[in-house]
Every structure is written in C-alpha cells, then in structure tokens.
A and B are shown apart, each in its own frame.
Chain A
Amino acid sequence: MMKSAASTSAPGRSYPLAGSRVRISFTFSRHVVPYLYLTPALLAIIMFVYLPLARTLYLSFHQGNLLNPTRSFVGLDNYTQLLNSPVFHRILLQSAQYMIFSLIGSVLIPISLALLTLHLTDKELDFYQSALFLPTVIAFNVVVLIWAFFFLATPNGLFNRLIALLDQPPQSWLRDPSFALPSIALIANWKIMGFHFLLAVAGLKAIPKEILEAAYVDGAHEWTLMRRIVLPLFAPTGLFLVTVTLIGSLDAVFTPIRVLTEGGPNNATNNLMYAIYSEGFRFFRVGQASAMSVLLILLFGSAIYMQYRLLDRWVTYER
C-alpha cells in the first residue's frame, strides 16, 4: 500500500509521490539546498568578517606588533589598562560628543530642512537639493582642505577675518581644545548633511498624499497633520537616518582628524576610531588597538540593539 505523501510532508502541503527517495529528496531540498545557496555568501562573511573578528579578539589578549610572530600573552591587561586610563575615558566621552553633533548635523538639521521644503515647488526643491547635495560629491580630502582655509590660525584665515570685523583677535581654531572638536564635527556634518537631506526628502515624498488630504478634509490642522501623520509615517526613514548616522559618526570625522589635528590638541579631537588607528598604525601596538576594537564593537553593538528595541515601538511601517 502506498503511504500517503502528506504524512511525510510539511503540514498543509501534499506531494503526489511517496517513499524514501522522495523523503530524502524533500529533506535535501528543504534543509540542505538553501544552505548551499547561502554557502558562497557565508564563506565570504566568515572569511572577511568573522575570522578577522576572531583574530582581533585573539590579538587583544596579546602584546606585539604586526611583524613579530612572537607575541606575549597578557590576558586581560590590555582591557584593564584601557578601562583604567583617563585618556581612554576622555576618548569615550568625546566619541559620544561626536555622535551628538552628528545627530544634530546629520539627522535633525537635514530632517528639519526637508520638512521646510514641503511647501516648495518641484523646481525650487531641485535647486535646494542640488545645492545641499554638492558637498557630498566632493572628495573628503578636498573638503578638509577647503575647511583648512576657514580654520587657519593666521589673521588671514577666513574665520579669523570674520571675527576681526568684530574686533576679536585671531584664534587658533584647531589648536584650542574648546573649538577643535566642534570644528572637526562641523566639517564632517557639512559633507554628510546634503545626502541625508536627500534621503529625508525622499522619505517625506513617500507619504501617501491621499492620507494627508483626507486628514485635511477631516479638519486636521498643520501641527496635527505633522504630529499624527507625517512624523509617524516618516519614522522608518528617520530610524534609518539615526542608525546610519550613529554607526558612521566616528568614521565620518576620521579624515578631518587625520589631516588637520591628529587627534590633538592634547587629545581634544580624538575618538575611538582614530585612537584605534593611532594605536595600531602610528604606535604599532596591535594588542591595545585590538582591545579598543573589541570594546568599540561591543559598545556599538549594544547601542544599536537598544536603539532598535526602543525605536521600533514608535516606528509605523506600512505593510
């Protein structure tokens, strides 16, 4: 008697053939084939992501440089040194400051500007999009050089000329700890803002007009429309902007730091990303650099996890 195929198959599905060959074939196609398809991508991820991560973790328990094969095992020394170092605490704090500046310059301002463009004609919007997007397409080194002229410490620096109009003496913008970090953050955000503005405009444009019109007909005022319809429907784009900004905030300031301040004055512009680079490639202390990298991954990983958990509650996805 032929056994019903339905009994060997997934619930709710029936197959015309039965028998062990069919079962093997089904099991194979259901449980093995997907993994075969995934294998090339998995191999690439393992090779280029997980193996380096494992290697970084391994190196963080050692002391040595890139060349010397004999590295000494130091256990958790690199971590305890870092966690007890006032310089590292300062670097962490400054990393957070860079993130806050990024949230303002690369999320809040672009979204605000995008909201302001809601009433513009398409032609006017095109103009603003092009003008604001321009810095995005300029090479970062060029952007930094442009801004270097603004921040020159000499009386001929552009900012010094401006403050000279107010009878103020010239400032060493990038050598003064109170100006240096905001100056570096300003450069990075100036470069990124246009792209994020474009994304914000796209997010706003994706809000169905019918919903807005219906609400308007129902008597909703501008503020109510904004609060009840625009912002909730814009939330996925907003969440995306917040996420990519936070992830990229330390990366974005790397070039200006590298070219203009090297983390100075007296560490005032240093952040986790640049500190890792300095330890690994300027001082060749691979163990310390790896320990910092591991801490960075943990910090970013947990921050992004928390961000998703918290923000997911507020975000409305159209399904």
Chain B
Amino acid sequence: MRKLLTILPLVAISLFALMPHSPTAVAQNAVSIEYWNINNQGFGGATVDLLIEQFEAANPGINVEARVQESYPSLVQNLELQIAGGNPPAVVQIGWPYLDYVYNNLPYVSVEELIEKWGGAEHVAQFPENILNLTLMGDSHVGLAYSLSNPVVYYNADMFVKAGLDPDNPPTTWEGWLEIAPQLSQANGGIPVFNFGYGSDNWILQAFVESNGGRMLVCKDGEYRSGLDSPEAAAGLQAWADVVLSGQSLNATYNEATPAFIGGETVTYTYSIAGRGNLQSQASFDLRATVFPQFGDNPVRVPSGGNLLVVFATDPQQQEAAWKFVQHLTSVEGLSEWTRGLGYVPLYEAVLNEPAYAEFIAQNPIQQVGNSQLDRMVRWTSFPGPNGLAAGEVAFRATQAALGGQMSAAEALAQAAQEINELIAGQPCTE
C-alpha cells in the first residue's frame, strides 16, 4: 500500500507531463502571438478580450495572448528590452508620440512589406488618405492607425443647473468659459471649474499651443526647430497657467484629475474622448461633453491621441497571423466594437454606417462631440531624432514651470525651445 502511495503521485505527474496541457499543443500547427496594449480592465480591457475571442473563433489555430502594459512609455521600454532579447511581440500598440522613435530605432515590419508578403491591400484601401498619412514615415507606413482620440470638455450638468446656467448650451470658446467660471464656482462651493489632466506626453499643451495659433514643431531651412518660442505658443500656455494660478483650475496629472472630476471636485474635465466609456460608467451625475474651446479667431487644433498598430513579428507564421489580427482589429466590426467600448473616433466612413455603431452614436451625444472634432485633429507631435523623447520632457518641464508660477509661459517656453533645438539639431524636414 505504501509503495502504491509512493508510485501514484509519480504516475500522475508523468501523465500530466504527457498530457496536452496548453492550447498550442491541442491544435496542429497552432501559432501563438502576443498583443501588447495599454488596455487594463479600467480602460477597455474587456473590449480587447472580446476582440481576441472573436478573432480566435474566426481563425482556429491562432492564439492571441494580450499583454497589458502600464502606459505607452513603459510599453516602449519593455518592447526595447524584448527586442534586444530577440523575442519581439507580434503586434504592439504604439502611442503616437513614439512613432518617430519606432521609425528610427526599432525593427518593425512596414505595412507595405506586410501587404507584399501576405496581401490585404484592399483592407488598407478603406482608410482615407489623411488617416493613412498619420503613420507615413519616409516612404513607408510604420503601422496602421488604430486608436484616434481628441480632447473634449466633459462637464457636470448638475452643477450648471445649480449655477442657474443652461447645461444644453455650454460655452464653445475660452472667453465664454472664463465668463461663467466665477458663477459656476460660487454656486458649487468654490470648487475649481477647470481640470486639465496632463502628463509628460504634452498632449494638452499641444492643444493649448496650437489652438492659439502656435506650433510645437516647425520646419525651418530644411531642419526641424521648436515652435514653442512664439508669442502664440506662449499665449496658449499662459491661458492655461492663468486659470491654474488663480485657483480656477486644478493643477493635476491624469491620475489625480479623473477621480477629482468623478468625485464632484471640479465642474469640468478636459480629457480624451477615449475616456468616455470609463467616465460614463463611473459618473453619478449628469455627464455631458462639449468641444475643446476656441481661442479668439484661431482655428481649433487638437492633437490626435491614441495609437497605431505595429507588427514586430519576425517568424513568417507569426507575421502572417499578426497581420491577420491587425486586419481584424481595424475591420469595420472590430473598429465598431473598439470605438463603442472606449470612445475612440471611427477611422473610416464604413464604420459610421455599421448598424451597431450607428445606433450607438445616435444615443450617445458625448461620442458625437468627439466625432465632430475629426476635422480639427492634427498629428500629435513626436519630436524627431534620437533625443526626441528627451525633447518632449523639456516641453513638459516648461509646462510645469509655468503652471507652478515659477516662470511666465513666455520665459519657460523660450528656454525650453532653446534646449529642444539643441536636442533635435540636424533633423531634416521638408516644408
């Protein structure tokens, strides 16, 4: 009996070892690919799972493993280490500010190469030219545009009512907001009216700078130069700094800004339309949104947030599976699911006409606000060259200095422009 008891576990272990215990062992010629994304469960994770499930059901033999990364910067860090180790993930969401870095430094597979090897030209042809151009670097496309978002002004309609203001007609200009801000604050216990959550990605900075007529980056004498030392850029940042320094706006990063708005500690929250799903599920008040404000007569220019899908798989089987998966994610059905789940704007016409999406958009006025800004979207600035990421950090530091009141926006941006120009010196451009 004792002998039997000794042998039994050994037999069990041997049997377990021989059993096909992973999906790869079940299917013949199965391919496993990794999909790196930033969609945790609070930010579209469930939609990613659903899209993978649909893809695997339609493509037996391909297993997709989603790997969630903390943020775009940490994703690129880990990607670099993974590539250095010779084991790149198959499909990766690359944040727009990292496009230049990926183009110059990482061994991606271009869309042209993927089409040549595995077909799919008709799928790519659905994308309008301006959307395709977002990923065009040199003479090839680094990846396919996937997530496109823009900043909208979410607001607490209940607080508008409390202040005796019409929540159906929120201001659409900066001047309009400044006019009603004291009334809104006073009626709601003196809380800050504005809340521009920001991070080192310079996304909101670009919206302020470019909507005031400035530019983050300009092309001068065949070389990229910082555009931050212009009076227009300074006016944009100063407008933001003024409301922060006067206490009318919260000075908070993304992590602090979202809970503050949800918790009723600010009247508005200028944030990505991609956050719509999350905010709607959490807000216990009448949540609404309006467009990013216009400054004077300047046209509104909002940076396109989000990411592109880039293939890094080197193994032919994995590469083919990765390209199939990218096409699934950017299909009409895939994009409909994606934009409904999170709030990103649709990439091409056919998505707008997809029945589920059309029904959803008719019932969701907040999403309509994001979609209405499509023609105001510009490329999210990616500073060029090997020091591009460090240049972005310089702009972020200038923002912090101006918002903290240590320097005027003009001083901070002039200093930053000088530093950025040194960092990106020699990077060629065409007018």
Interface residues of A (CB under 8 A from B): 63-68, 148, 152-156, 169, 172, 175-177, 262, 264-267, 278-279, 281-285
Whether the Cβ atoms of A262 and B200 lie closer than 8 Å is: yes
A281 / chain B contacts, CB cutoff of 8 Å: 77
- Given A154-B252, A285-B387, the answer on whether A175 and B400 have CB atoms closer than 8 Å is yes
Partner of A67, one of B73, B106, B200, B397: B106
User: Would you list the 3 A-B pairs with minimal beta carbon distance, nearest first?
Assistant: A265-B400, A283-B390, A266-B400
Given contact pairs A153-B251, A154-B260, a sample of 15 additional A-B residue pairs in the complex whose CB atoms are under 8 Å apart: A65-B105, A153-B252, A155-B265, A172-B251, A175-B400, A176-B404, A177-B404, A264-B400, A265-B403, A265-B404, A266-B404, A266-B406, A281-B77, A284-B101, A284-B105
Alpha-carbon separation in the docked complex, A156 to B77 (Å): 35
Is there a chain A Cβ closer than 8 Å to B263's Cβ? Answer: yes
How many B residues, CB 8 Å from partner?
A: 35
Alpha-carbon separation in the docked complex, A187 to B158 (Å): 38
22 A–B contact pairs at CB < 8 A?
A65-B105, A66-B80, A66-B84, A67-B84, A67-B105, A153-B251, A154-B252, A155-B265, A172-B252, A175-B251, A175-B252, A175-B404, A264-B396, A264-B400, A265-B400, A265-B403, A266-B398, A266-B406, A279-B390, A283-B393, A284-B386, A285-B386
Is there a chain A Cβ closer than 8 Å to B81's Cβ? Answer: yes
A175 / chain B contacts, CB cutoff of 8 Å: 251-252, 400, 403-404
- Given A154-B256, A154-B260, A172-B252, the answer on whether A282 and B77 have CB atoms closer than 8 Å is yes
The secondary structure that dominates the B interface is helix
Count: A-B pairs, CB below 8 Å:
83
Interface residues of B (CB under 8 A from A): 73, 77, 80-81, 83-84, 101, 105-107, 191, 200, 247, 250-252, 255-256, 260, 263, 265-266, 386-387, 389-390, 393, 396-398, 400-401, 403-404, 406
B200 / chain A contacts, CB cutoff of 8 Å: 262, 264
Within the complex, the shortest CB–CB distance from A237 to chain B, in Å, comes to: 40
Alpha-carbon separation in the docked complex, A169 to B245 (Å): 12
B107 / chain A contacts, CB cutoff of 8 Å: 67
Whether the Cβ atoms of B101 and A266 lie closer than 8 Å is: no
Alpha-carbon separation in the docked complex, A65 to B84 (Å): 11
Partner of B80, one of A65, A177, A267, A279: A65
Within the complex, the shortest CB–CB distance from B98 to chain A, in Å, comes to: 10
Alpha-carbon separation in the docked complex, A256 to B255 (Å): 14
A156 / chain B contacts, CB cutoff of 8 Å: 260, 263, 265
Within the complex, the shortest CB–CB distance from B306 to chain A, in Å, comes to: 20
Partner of B401, one of A65, A148, A265: A265
Alpha-carbon separation in the docked complex, A153 to B251 (Å): 7
Alpha-carbon separation in the docked complex, A281 to B73 (Å): 9
